[in-house]
Structure 1
Amino acid sequence: MIELRKIAQDCPEQDCSRQVAKDLRAAFSASIPGRIVGGELTTIDKYPSIVQVDSFGPNSGTWSQSCGANILNAYYVLSAAHCFAGRTYDPSLRRIRAGTSYRNTGGIISYVLREHNHPSYGKRGFDGDITVVRLHNALVYSPVVQRGTIIYQDGVIPDYMPVVHAGWGRTTQGGLLSPQLRDVVIYVINRELCAERYLTLNPPGIVTENMICAGLLDIGGRDACQGDSGGPLYYGNIIVGIVSWGHGCANETFPGLSTAVAPYSDWIAATAV
């Protein structure tokens, strides 16, 4: 069974707007360090539904974390389709590591049986960049291995709301991957504005209605980065997005993009059975 939840505001709209404005002012005035990018060290206890996706390198003969994913139930995880696709992709070259704060060490391992990439993936840029992955062996739940909660079908996250990335990705553009789990708070950015920005690229970037744009617009410094793909975008404790793509990392002009989960929630629930 997949756990879905509707988004409910716990404050009146006017009060929420005041709080968001206060949070944004604080974020914009803060110095931005170069981490997840712009985040802090955290532990798996805080995010027990996040897992590492390991890829096997035939040339090196070793496994190494390459993406993130999110536990849906004991046999299925949710990730980005581009982590389970490509010319040389084979499911035997992927596995997941759950229940550890540290990259490439600890936790429990389960190998990938097959992926269910969304049928729309690859037809319009990164639209539909989402996959439900079946594991060979059931995960054993523990305090650090728990299923996540995904947003209800067609749920909407308002602009300017704070959301959180977590992952083991690069801590700067082109930098090193993080040896320990990190998280970072960013803000939802108006999709139409984001789409206009990406259309100025050559070739233009395609931002669709099935994506969430988030970052610190015209400030930069906070974002997911390479190695975070497939990991979660949280609103509270609800998974609302899957890290997908962007133009660089923590770019002030071009915020990062996640696949919005809400357009696919019913498909996810029907697939992960």
Structure 2
Amino acid sequence: MVKLLVLVVALAAGSAFSASAPGRIVGGELTTIDKYPSIVQVDYFGPNSGTWSQSCGANILNAYYVLSAAHCFAGRTYDPSLRRIRAGTSYRNTGGIISYVLREHNHPTYGKRGFDGDITVVRLINALVYSPVVQRGTIIYQDGVIPDYMPVVHAGWGRTTQGGLLSPQLRDVVIYVINRELCAERYLTLNPPGIVTENMICAGLLDIGGRDACQGDSGGPLYYGNIIVGIVSWGHGCANETFPGLSTAVAPYSDWIVATAV
């Protein structure tokens, strides 16, 4: 039987986080930030619109660092000054506290093989202030494994249907881990084929669909219990019954995350 291991690691950057063993919420329910105090919004500044708007999610590691998807902090026009973090609010684009981005540490393998390595540790300019709704998260232990068919949870402010509207309030949804080899076989049938690697977690309702993350949830958490085991990354549409969503598995990167967030 595979066991989930949790390791508590103290870090210096103003606080600590726990270490243990892109983007979408469809088919879920409204929830509140007090149930998920480590999730935060990633805001993007649109140079053309001149406004800030939530575009991704992230997860608090400690007062100065958050964990997200690399594709939320990359691209031809990316600059750290065009990103900020909003923490401690249930509602999209309003409330909470704001912290601006100093720099991103995208994993060095990102961009070399599909969405493999789609994970980043982001350094903030100003420290987050902890409260009941702003708390550090717990990540899975290095190389920890979540067994197939176990229930996991997405949370975020993403679209509630494929091509639909972003949710004004935080939502969550329960789905199930799907065998990676089976998931990889299905994605290979796409044209062009989708690349599912050993560094990803496939989760959804296989052959049923209707529950998933969606655009706007990228970088947010995939929880097993209260442990962050995945980072919302990519998929074919949202809540597709044949092609479940993919999250970057945190476990292959846990030691790197701990070493980076200091």
Alignment coverage as a number of residue pairs:
254
Partner of 1:107: 96
Give the direction of change, closer, same or farther, for the CA distance of 1:30–1:260 in structure 2 (3 Å limit). closer
> How big is the shift at 1:36?
2.3
- Verify: 1:242 aligned to 2:238, yes or no: no
Q: Residues of 1 paired with 2:20 and 2:147: CA distance?
A: 26
Give the direction of change, closer, same or farther, for the CA distance of 1:156–1:28 in structure 2 (3 Å limit). closer
Structure with more helix by fraction:
1
Q: Residues of 2 paired with 1:248 and 1:109: CA distance?
A: 31
In structure 2, the residue corresponding to 1:141 is in which secondary structure?
coil
Q: Residues of 2 paired with 1:21 and 1:268: CA distance?
A: 13
1:60-84 Cα distance to aligned partner (Å, 9 max, x none): 0000000000000000000000000
> How big is the shift at 1:37?
0.2
1:73-101 Cα distance to aligned partner (Å, 9 max, x none): 00000000000000000000000000000
> How big is the shift at 1:205?
0.1
In structure 1, the residue corresponding to 2:99 is in which secondary structure?
strand
Q: Which has the higher contact order (CA 8 A, sep 6+)?
A: 2
1:200-239 Cα distance to aligned partner (Å, 9 max, x none): 0000000000000000000000000000000000000000
Preserved contact between residue 22 and residue 69 of structure 2 (Cα < 8 Å):
no
Q: Residues of 2 paired with 1:25 and 1:183: CA distance?
A: 30
Equivalent of 2:63, from 43, 61, 74?
A: 74
The two structures have a TM-score, normalised by structure 2, of 0.91
> How big is the shift at 1:27?
37
1:133-176 Cα distance to aligned partner (Å, 9 max, x none): 00000000000000000000000000000000000000000000
Preserved contact between residue 171 and residue 225 of structure 1 (Cα < 8 Å):
yes
Give the direction of change, closer, same or farther, for the CA distance of 1:193–1:92 in structure 2 (3 Å limit). same
Partner of 1:55: 44
Give the direction of change, closer, same or farther, for the CA distance of 1:22–1:165 in structure 2 (3 Å limit). farther
CA RMSD of aligned residues (A): 8.3
In structure 2, the residue corresponding to 1:54 is in which secondary structure?
strand
Equivalent of 2:112, from 123, 130, 133?
A: 123
Moved over 3 A (4+): 20-35
Preserved contact between residue 95 and residue 111 of structure 1 (Cα < 8 Å):
yes
- Verify: 1:179 aligned to 2:168, yes or no: yes
Give the direction of change, closer, same or farther, for the CA distance of 1:99–1:205 in structure 2 (3 Å limit). same
Structure ID, larger Rg = 1
> How big is the shift at 1:31?
34
Partner of 2:149: 160
1:100-130 Cα distance to aligned partner (Å, 9 max, x none): 0000000000000000000000000000000
Give the direction of change, closer, same or farther, for the CA distance of 1:58–1:75 in structure 2 (3 Å limit). same
> How big is the shift at 1:35?
9.7
Aligned ranges 1:1-273 → 2 under 5 Å: 36-273=25-262
> How big is the shift at 1:33?
22
Preserved contact between residue 96 and residue 109 of structure 1 (Cα < 8 Å):
yes
Give the direction of change, closer, same or farther, for the CA distance of 1:22–1:257 in structure 2 (3 Å limit). farther
Preserved contact between residue 24 and residue 218 of structure 2 (Cα < 8 Å):
no
Same amino acid, percent of matched pairs: 96
